[in-house]
Amino acid sequence: MAVDKNMHILVVDDYQTMIRIIRNLLKQLGFNNVDEATDGKAALEKISAKSYGLIISDWNMEPMTGLDLLKSIRGGGSKVPFIMVTAESKTENVLAAREAGVNNYIVKPFNADTLKTKLSSVLGEF
Amino acid sequence: MNALQQAEAAKLKDRAYSRNEVIEIIRSVMGTIDKDSDESLKLHNELSALASYIENMRSELAQLRSIEISHNHIPTATDELDAVVGETAKATGTIMDVCEKIEKIAGELEAPVGPELSNAVTSIYEACGFQDITGQRITKVVKTLKHIESKVSEIISAFGNMHPNAVAPVVKEEKTGLLNGPQLKGPASSQEDIDKLLASFDK
């Protein structure tokens, strides 16, 4: 099934620079409907108001981390694809994210090719 | 022991003693020791050494200019690091603004110039990720410095007033091993390692 490039994507990061980087890279890949949130709590408010086809989230944010956001989403029964983009690359972090139901994991710093590869693995080839 | 005495004892047990109080207690105990026997003399000497140790500790802490460390050096360092984060964020924002303008122009140019320009802009976007990484690392360092500041303040409080004008010894600055942020060599994993780990769950 073809990937719907009109899907709404939510990018969650407390660094505006990173949000802009991901937003611009997504735009280059043809995804233009990108919303943003600066922590897990703000993301949950967005998710409750709109249906998203993908969530791309940082880990370290306050007051709610990306991992807690993921747990909350999965706890609510949602299977929305979730990619963690983080500098937290220790094995225990990856395993905790996996346990919580992450679909893929990108280590910062990353490049456009890595983002495209991970999107393909989660959404399908596009 | 009646209830009132128990309550008083509990209060004393839970509270922290100041340096002067500790020395006072030690001296008070020393005053009650009969120095006639060898054992009593030994205990007296031990307590005397303990009192001297506490006095020396206070003097050494004063020489370290602990008050300056907690009141001047650390707050200055954290302010400067916060400024670094702010300035790099500002500069990165400017770079991104310009990149977005260039990308828009690139979209209007024909191949091969347009796509090549777009690729170059993509590389700049990728490189701008440094601000996020350095920002996180510096934030961790600031938190560590604030923790040290709090601990130094506790030590100052425990040992009473220091001598702020004492001459501080010259300490050679340690330039390695401070940054304990993400992606330093050690416990961090590469993207390749993580891909292998995640793939192992799919087998």
Q: Mind listing the pLDDT tens digit for each residue in A10-65? A: 999 998 889 999 999 999 999 999 999 999 999 999 999 999 999 999 999 999 99
Q: List, in order, residues 6 or more apart from A71 with CB less than 8 Å away.
A: A100, A101
Count of domains in chain B?
Answer: 2
How far is the alpha carbon of B58 from chain A, nearest alpha carbon, in Å?
Answer: 39
pTM: 0.69
Domain ranges of chain A: 15-111
Residue B186 lies in a domain: no
Instruction: Check whether residue B99 and residue B130 sit in a common domain.
Output: yes
Of B89, B125, B183, the CB nearest to A21: B125
Of A18, A88, A94, the CB nearest to B182: A88
Q: Which domain range does residue B133 map to?
A: 66-166
**Predicted local confidence at residue B15, as pLDDT:** 64
Inform me whether the C-beta atom of residue B150 falls under 8 Å from chain A C-beta atoms: no
Percent of chain B with pLDDT over 90: 26
Q: List, in order, residues 6 or more apart from B163 with CB less than 8 Å away.
A: B62
Interchain proximity A18–B183, CB inside 8 Å: no
Bridge partner list, A37: A12
How far is the alpha carbon of B197 from chain A, nearest alpha carbon, in Å?
Answer: 8
- ipTM for the predicted complex comes to 0.80
**Predicted local confidence at residue B56, as pLDDT:** 83
Inform me whether the C-beta atom of residue B89 falls under 8 Å from chain A C-beta atoms: yes
Q: List, in order, residues 6 or more apart from B149 with CB less than 8 Å away.
A: B69, B70, B74, B75, B78
Interchain proximity B122–A28, CB inside 8 Å: yes
- What stretches in chain B show pLDDT beneath 50? 164, 166-182
How far is the alpha carbon of A72 from chain B, nearest alpha carbon, in Å?
Answer: 21
> Tens of pLDDT along B114-123?
999 999 999 9
Give domain A15-111's CATH architecture: 3-Layer(aba) Sandwich (3.40)
**Predicted local confidence at residue A103, as pLDDT:** 97
Residue B146 lies in a domain: yes
Q: List, in order, residues 6 or more apart from A121 with CB less than 8 Å away.
A: A104
Residue B174 lies in a domain: no
Inform me whether the C-beta atom of residue B129 falls under 8 Å from chain A C-beta atoms: yes
